[in-house]
């Protein structure tokens, strides 16, 4: 087991109706002036916005509204939010939404305490030294941003989607009411399932020594997520399935699945290039295509681990490791298909000759490789993309 630091300080308020306590919760931290960030208005249609506003105003909290966060949140929006946060001297940011609103809010929180250009964080010119606290009411289980240390943002001028990690990015609290996700579409639910599984599998399949406890916890999260996904395709309002999915999303990405292991997200790196280039591709859907393709490409480097995955997660009974490993990967691919995910990049209606461009993006113009069992250079990445056309 490798040395590690585990730090997941977010207080999670989990359960039915919990969002109605948001005002009281914020008051318990001593804040009385906050910025409220949310997305494109779906929370207004659902009635959630009114419930949140009621709870906040009942607690006497002054609210600076900052709606309109887009999917793949934009640096320009964040810059505006930072300006407003500084001017209005809000004490914290409340994010009501999914990963995009969370990331935008975290980014705003760090930027509000920084005098330079907030793009300095992902471009590694500066690390945030302090940040406003962030709390959230989660409406989509997928990104795990509610407990994670990362915030990802898109710089439209540079056409780049990049993030930065910092413990300052950890939410102070997260309010997780699974009922709020009943209205997430089947497609977006399936995308979330894939994202949660990918966060777990990225850390599971990494070249390092076995770590029995972390392995088993990761397998637990995968099994519970797979089961929840199956149930939700039949019954989107199954409370327990929504709850297991939501809690799995937090645990998959809060550090727990990486304890004692190397840390890298190779398939996420491939996918960020893909959905960065093609705006209409949902992150989870991109991962659903790329994960099996990546696995088929690298599994030979660690057959016994892929065999363990097959046996413990997919209940494969093949005794031969090589056969089990291959079966496990195909079971994963079949599962993604069974919950309505695409199986090929061409399903996205994109040019079958874009592999060059995507490999270029992944390697920042052949300037870097993607680290995994084998260092993936331009040619290897291109091959992986081509294998899923």
For the purposes of burial, counting CB atoms within 10 Å of the CB of 203, is it exposed (0-12), middle (13-18) or buried (19 or more)? buried
When asked if residue 233 is in the footprint of its own copies (CB under 8 A), the reply is no
When asked if residue 129 is in the footprint of its own copies (CB under 8 A), the reply is no
Question: Given the structure tokens 């509610």, which residue do they identify?
Answer: 146
> Restricting to residues 164-183, which ones interact with its own copies according to CB under 8 A?
178
Q: At closest approach, how far in Å is the CB of 232 from its own copies?
A: 13
Q: At closest approach, how far in Å is the CB of 93 from its own copies?
A: 20
Lookup: tokens for 85: 């946060």
Contact code string over 257-296 relative to its own copies, x by CB under 8 A: --xx------------------------------------
- Residue 310, φ and ψ in degrees, nearest 5: -60, -45
Tell me how far apart the alpha carbons of residues 39 and 54 are, in angstroms, rounded to a whole number. Answer: 19
Choosing from 30, 89, 115, 209, the residue that interacts with its own copies (CB under 8 A) is 209
Choosing from 82, 101, 131, 251, the residue that interacts with its own copies (CB under 8 A) is 251
Contacts for 223 with CB less than 8 Å, ≥ 6 apart: 313
CB-based burial, 121-146: b 16+ in 10 Å, e otherwise: bbeeebebeebbbbbbbbbbbbbbbb
Choosing from 198, 248, 267, 329, the residue that interacts with its own copies (CB under 8 A) is 248
Q: At closest approach, how far in Å is the CB of 212 from its own copies?
A: 5
Tell me how far apart the alpha carbons of residues 113 and 110 are, in angstroms, rounded to a whole number. Answer: 6
Q: Which is nearer to its own copies, 88 or 220 (CB)?
A: 220
When asked if residue 373 is in the footprint of its own copies (CB under 8 A), the reply is no
Q: How many residues in total does the chain contain?
A: 389
When asked if residue 2 is in the footprint of its own copies (CB under 8 A), the reply is yes
When asked if residue 207 is in the footprint of its own copies (CB under 8 A), the reply is no
When asked if residue 53 is in the footprint of its own copies (CB under 8 A), the reply is no
Contact code string over 12-31 relative to its own copies, x by CB under 8 A: xxxxx-x-------------
Contact code string over 317-356 relative to its own copies, x by CB under 8 A: ----------------------------------------
Q: Which of 210, 180, 175, 208 shows the shortest CA–CA distance to 192?
A: 180
Contacts for 26 with CB less than 8 Å, ≥ 6 apart: 34, 56, 59, 61, 92, 94, 135
- Piece in contact with its own copies (CB under 8 A), picked from 49-57, 122-130, 247-255, 365-373: 247-255
Q: Which is nearer to its own copies, 41 or 210 (CB)?
A: 210
When asked if residue 239 is in the footprint of its own copies (CB under 8 A), the reply is yes
Question: Given the structure tokens 């590690």, which residue do they identify?
Answer: 4
Taking CA atoms, 18 is separated from 6, 23, 105, 142, in Å, by 27, 11, 20, 19
SS3 136: strand
> Restricting to residues 211-230, which ones interact with its own copies according to CB under 8 A?
211-214, 216-217, 219-221, 223-224, 227-228
Q: Where are the alpha helices (DSSP H) in 89-206?
A: 99-111, 186-204
Q: At closest approach, how far in Å is the CB of 313 from its own copies?
A: 11
Are 205 and 45 in contact by the 8 Å Cβ rule? The answer is no
**Residue ranges binding its own copies (CB under 8 A):** 1-9, 11-16, 18, 178, 209-214, 216-217, 219-221, 223-224, 227-228, 239-240, 243-244, 247-248, 251, 259-260
């Amino acid at each position: 087991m490798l040395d590690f630091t585990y730090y997941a300080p977010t207080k999670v308020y989990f359960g039915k109706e919990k969002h109605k306590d948001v005002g009281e919760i914020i008051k318990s931290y001593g804040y009385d002036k906050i910025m409220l960030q949310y997305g494109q208005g779906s929370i207004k249609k659902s009635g959630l916005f009114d419930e949140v506003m009621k709870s906040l105003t009942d607690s006497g909290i002054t609210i600076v509204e900052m709606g309109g966060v887009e999917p793949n949140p934009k640096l320009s929006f964040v810059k505006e939010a930072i300006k407003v946060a500084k001017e209005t001297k809000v004490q914290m940011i409340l994010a009501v939404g999914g990963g995009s609103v969370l990331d935008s809010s975290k980014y705003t929180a760090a930027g509000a305490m920084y005098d330079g250009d907030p793009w300095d964080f992902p471009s590694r010119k500066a690390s945030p030294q302090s940040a406003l606290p962030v709390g959230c009411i989660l409406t989509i289980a997928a990104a795990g941003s509610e407990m994670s240390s990362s915030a990802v943002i898109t710089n439209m001028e540079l056409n780049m989607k990049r993030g930065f990690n910092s413990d300052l990015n950890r939410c102070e609290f997260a309010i997780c009411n699974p009922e709020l996700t009943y209205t997430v579409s089947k497609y977006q639910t399936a995308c979330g399932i894939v994202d949660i599984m990918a966060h777990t599998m990225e850390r599971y399949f990494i070249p390092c020594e076995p770590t029995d406890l972390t392995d088993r916890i990761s397998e637990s999260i995968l099994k519970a997520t797979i089961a929840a996904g199956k149930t939700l395709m039949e019954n989107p309002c199954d409370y327990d399935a929504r709850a297991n999915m939501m809690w799995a999303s937090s645990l998959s990405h809060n550090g727990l699945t990486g304890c004692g292991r190397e840390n890298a997200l190779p398939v996420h790196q491939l996918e960020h290039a893909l959905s960065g280039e093609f705006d209409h591709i949902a992150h989870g859907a991109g991962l659903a295509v790329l994960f099996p393709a990546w696995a088929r490409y690298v599994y030979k480097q660690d057959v016994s681990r892929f065999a363990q995955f097959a046996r413990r997660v997919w209940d494969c009974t093949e005794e031969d490791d090589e056969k089990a490993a291959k079966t496990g990967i195909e079971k994963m691919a079949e599962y993604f298909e069974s919950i309505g995910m695409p199986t090929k990049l061409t399903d996205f209606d994109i040019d079958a000759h874009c592999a060059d461009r995507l490999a270029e993006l992944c390697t920042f113009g052949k300037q870097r490789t993607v680290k995994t069992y084998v260092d993936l250079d331009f040619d290897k990445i291109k091959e992986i993309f081509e294998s899923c056309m």
